[in-house]
Structure 1
Amino acid sequence: MSEFPAGVPADASRTKVVNKTVLAWASWDWGSAAINAVMTTFVFTVYLTSELFGDKDANSVVLGNALAIAGVAIALLAPIMGLRSDAGGRRRFWLGVNTVIVAVLTAACFFVFPEPRFLVLGVTLIALASVFAEFATVNYNAMLPQISTPATIGKVSGFGWGMGYLGGIVALAIVLFMLVTPIFPWAGASEENALNLRLVAVFSAVWFLGFGLPVLFAVPEIPGTAGGPRFTLVQSYKELWRRVAALARTDRHTVYFLLSSAVFRDGLAAVFTFGGVIAAGTFGFPLTQVIIFAIVGNVIAAIGAMLGGWLDDKVGPKNVIVAALIGLIVAGFGVFFSPDATGFWIFGLLLCLFVGPAQSSSRAFLARLAPAGQEGELFGLYATTGRAVSFLAPALFAMSIALAKPYVDDAQRYGILGIILVLLLGLALLLPVHAPGRLGVEQPA
């Protein structure tokens, strides 16, 4: 069972939920909101799936397929990234490298002009950015035990997620009032050749890079394994398989959790990835209204994440996740059956409320289980198991639309059912998993 890092001093500051180190760590979550909220959810993917690039349903299928391919790449490479950063003592280094790569790929989206021939370039850049963002997240999540204690880990994780959502609010507000519906005229707000939407990519890259830097100075680099092995790529896979097999023999419920969370986290990601697309394509939201919904939704999600973090330390992460998944499924059906924009506002905001606690408690759940010195490896597996099925929600979203298209006019709506199916499956797989206790002591399910 989990031991918190022996190499990290157990000073009094780590008993506080929020201190300078936690703030610097959470700043990365704040910065990454420009990628998650602005680029992949509410603005740039809405731009890519709009009629500027051709048929919106066909564009949605292309986007879903590109993200599914990205998921396969992450599944193959993420665990090795975690294993090698643990062994080499380069967790902070690789967090920095991948953060810079994501920023560069995001900035390159400026060159995606509003013509059908640029659609492939746009979805390729978004897909590649998602790959390297996941590599960065492996190392970022692995820092959680370094900056918290077993008694505060749920709150710290929830605080990070909450900061991410709040960062999304500020970033979206800037995009709305400076680029989409500017409060004062300036050259960058021009809609000619979608200049204002392409500048969103540049803004997001600068935002992410700027707020992603503090963690690189505040959280110390982990020590490498003195005299330990340095694995080649092939050796890394062999070592990873050996450790997974050992984990399956000694701690089966950690493996069960990795598998169940892989499925439900794919559903959680799809809620945000395709939320803006559905708001615009199915319910007719103009981009301005999509962004306003996103701002309100991020406020609700931040409240949900922080409340979920508090409940996590009180009732345990599994109970929080189960309750959140049930809420998401009910709200998802509400969105599907909503006849108009009013219904989407109500049930869409409920989705936002429940996504945060599920994400935060899932991260805290695994951090409680991670042995000292193997956090990167385990969070690499966390990313990999998630991405091993990360094609599932995008593929079911795309397939549901494709199957419905010959029979209904608003086929995009049926993509919601594919996401709900993934959440239902994830909930079913989670129920038998034994939960870690409040202080990292396993309790019966």
Structure 2
Amino acid sequence: MTTAPAPAVRLLDRRVFAWAAWDWGSASFNAVITTFVFTVYLTSDAFTGLDPDAPGFKAAKAALSSGLGLGLAIAGVAVALIAPVVGRRSDAVGRRRRPLAVASAVVAASMIGMTFVQPAPSFFWFGVALVAIGTVAYEAGAVNYNAMLLPISTPKSIGRISAFGWASGYVGGIVLLVLLVTTLIPLGSSGVQLSALVCAIWFTVFAIPVLFAVPDDRRIATGEQLGVLATYRRLIADLVALWRNDRNLLMFLVASAVFRDGLTGVFTFGAVIAAAVFGFTFSDVLVFGVAANLVAGVSTLISGRFDDRYGPKPVIMTSLVGLVICGTIAFALQHEGRWVFWVFGLALCLFVGPAQTSSRALLGRLVPAERAGELFGLYATTGRAASFIAPAAFAAFTAIAQDQGFGILGIVLVLALGLVLMLPVKGSFSPAEGAGRALEGADHP
């Protein structure tokens, strides 16, 4: 099928703003729920059921972090299984808005459920399950959301538009965190529960614009309806085709799967580490969260211009080197006081956004519009096939050492592995080359 020519797109036109609004709204889940508030709440003292001076308290706290890591690892496996189905079915009918709407609704519902998580050990696994369900739904929605990047961008602007969306998420996180910090969160556990409800409303409101402003394009529908098992057979065939025809793209998918999992680990466990290792109070964590999103948002916006000018690989490599260095220093100096996390934690945030958005933009340069869901589904699948690595590394290092500070080392090692795997990947991708041609050799049923 011939891809319809992309219309001219200004960097900040109505469609771009509407598309980026979903990222802005998703900050309610990414920043508040999984990073700075709800996961910190789940791993707080109340869920141990022990007094801080009681024997076994430290081990109980470590067990909470390990349990959270286990839940997120299971969620990652679930995403890896469903992402290819979501992507291919969207390509088949040329519809991305409906599955994005359904996924967004499930994320919102999971956050509503969090309002019922009481600060007691018996509610811990219920809370973890809700975070896991929200994570699965968010990642499934992101397959179609990322695919929508193509019709609202051009090869010359895709880096900046991708960065604008990602930066919108960080800024949205700042606004929401400030709102919650000055209103509900000071109320304690009840405030955290009410914050989850506000997050659900926030996400719902800002997820709506993209559903109207970026219409489905039925002209790019493949018309190929596959069952679940046939979808997985096609996935294997595509991977074989990549191995035969474009190992460079396959290496990128593997490398990005690893380093993106490490990036997720930075934000997922960053607040937990700040509280447990560096002695941050809940208020300190929230203030740090605002600063972290500000730093990440600014650096991401700037990186979009470097991406469009020099290509995505230099941005990714620079970011990964910076992350490994800053993470290693934070681990080595963890007993030197809270200033260590303020300095090197914020330095980590400086590099996370650019690596994330350039990775998305790099794949966007390779994806033909009619296979966007398929390729971004493959991107999500390979990413989530590796998504157990950072949570498992954090949980394992924490459990073995009985010290959450060693969880930092686990995440750093995952980032370092992603950096090594990214080294042989060629960065000079042309928008007209790559994935579409690489998959032509697949023996599709």
Matched, 1:310 2:302: no
1:250 offset after TM fit, Å?
Answer: 2.2
Task: Quote the Cα distance in structure 1 between the aligned partners of 2:348 and 2:222.
Answer: 49
The equivalent residue for 1:423 is 415
Correspondent of 2:195 among 169, 193, 200: 200
Q: Is the 8 A contact 2:4 2:220 kept in 1?
A: no
Identical positions, percent? 50
Q: Is the 8 A contact 1:80 1:240 kept in 2?
A: no
1:347 offset after TM fit, Å?
Answer: 0.3
1:377 offset after TM fit, Å?
Answer: 0.6
Q: Is the 8 A contact 2:20 2:164 kept in 1?
A: yes
1:336 offset after TM fit, Å?
Answer: 1.1
Distance 1:214 1:344, change over 3 A: same
Distance 1:37 1:226, change over 3 A: closer
1:8 offset after TM fit, Å?
Answer: 5.3
Task: Quote the Cα distance in structure 1 between the aligned partners of 2:432 and 2:39.
Answer: 39
Task: Quote the Cα distance in structure 2 between the aligned partners of 1:222 and 1:74.
Answer: 25
Aligned residues: 421
1:108-187 matches, cutoff 5 A: 108-181=113-186
The equivalent residue for 2:35 is 41
Q: Is the 8 A contact 1:96 1:216 kept in 2?
A: yes
Correspondent of 1:356 among 353, 358, 361: 353
Q: Is the 8 A contact 2:398 2:406 kept in 1?
A: yes
1:175 offset after TM fit, Å?
Answer: 1.1
User: 3-state SS of the aligned residue for 1:374?
Assistant: helix
What letter is aligned with 1:286? T
User: 3-state SS of the aligned residue for 2:273?
Assistant: helix
Task: Quote the Cα distance in structure 1 between the aligned partners of 2:287 and 2:105.
Answer: 29
The equivalent residue for 1:264 is 259
Where do 5+ consecutive residues of structure 2 fail to align? Answer: 49-59, 435-445
Task: Quote the Cα distance in structure 2 between the aligned partners of 1:425 and 1:160.
Answer: 27
Where do 5+ consecutive residues of structure 1 fail to align? Answer: 182-188, 406-410
Task: Quote the Cα distance in structure 2 between the aligned partners of 1:398 and 1:366.
Answer: 31
Task: Quote the Cα distance in structure 1 between the aligned partners of 2:381 and 2:251.
Answer: 14
Correspondent of 2:248 among 247, 253, 256: 253
Matched, 1:368 2:360: no
1:225 offset after TM fit, Å?
Answer: 6.4
Task: Quote the Cα distance in structure 1 between the aligned partners of 2:262 and 2:427.
Answer: 21
Matched, 1:391 2:383: no
Matched, 1:377 2:374: yes
What letter is aligned with 1:326? V
Task: Quote the Cα distance in structure 2 between the aligned partners of 1:154 and 1:385.
Answer: 22
Matched, 1:237 2:229: no
1:242 offset after TM fit, Å?
Answer: 2.2
What letter is aligned with 2:76? G
What letter is aligned with 2:367? A
Distance 1:225 1:358, change over 3 A: closer
Q: Is the 8 A contact 2:220 2:369 kept in 1?
A: no
1:310 offset after TM fit, Å?
Answer: 0.8
Task: Quote the Cα distance in structure 1 between the aligned partners of 2:72 and 2:290.
Answer: 24
Q: Is the 8 A contact 1:8 1:146 kept in 2?
A: no
TM-superposition CA deviations, 1:341-361 (whole Å, max 9, x none): 111100000000000100010
**TM-score if structure 1 supplies the norm length?**
0.92
Correspondent of 1:432 among 424, 439, 445: 424
What letter is aligned with 1:244? L
The equivalent residue for 1:184 is none
Matched, 1:284 2:279: yes
Task: Quote the Cα distance in structure 2 between the aligned partners of 1:179 and 1:94.
Answer: 32
Which runs of structure 1 show a deviation greater than 6 angstroms over 4 or more consecutive aligned residues? 224-227
Distance 1:226 1:364, change over 3 A: closer
User: 3-state SS of the aligned residue for 2:425?
Assistant: coil
The equivalent residue for 2:109 is 104
1:240 offset after TM fit, Å?
Answer: 2.4
Task: Quote the Cα distance in structure 1 between the aligned partners of 2:400 and 2:190.
Answer: 35
1:389 offset after TM fit, Å?
Answer: 1.0
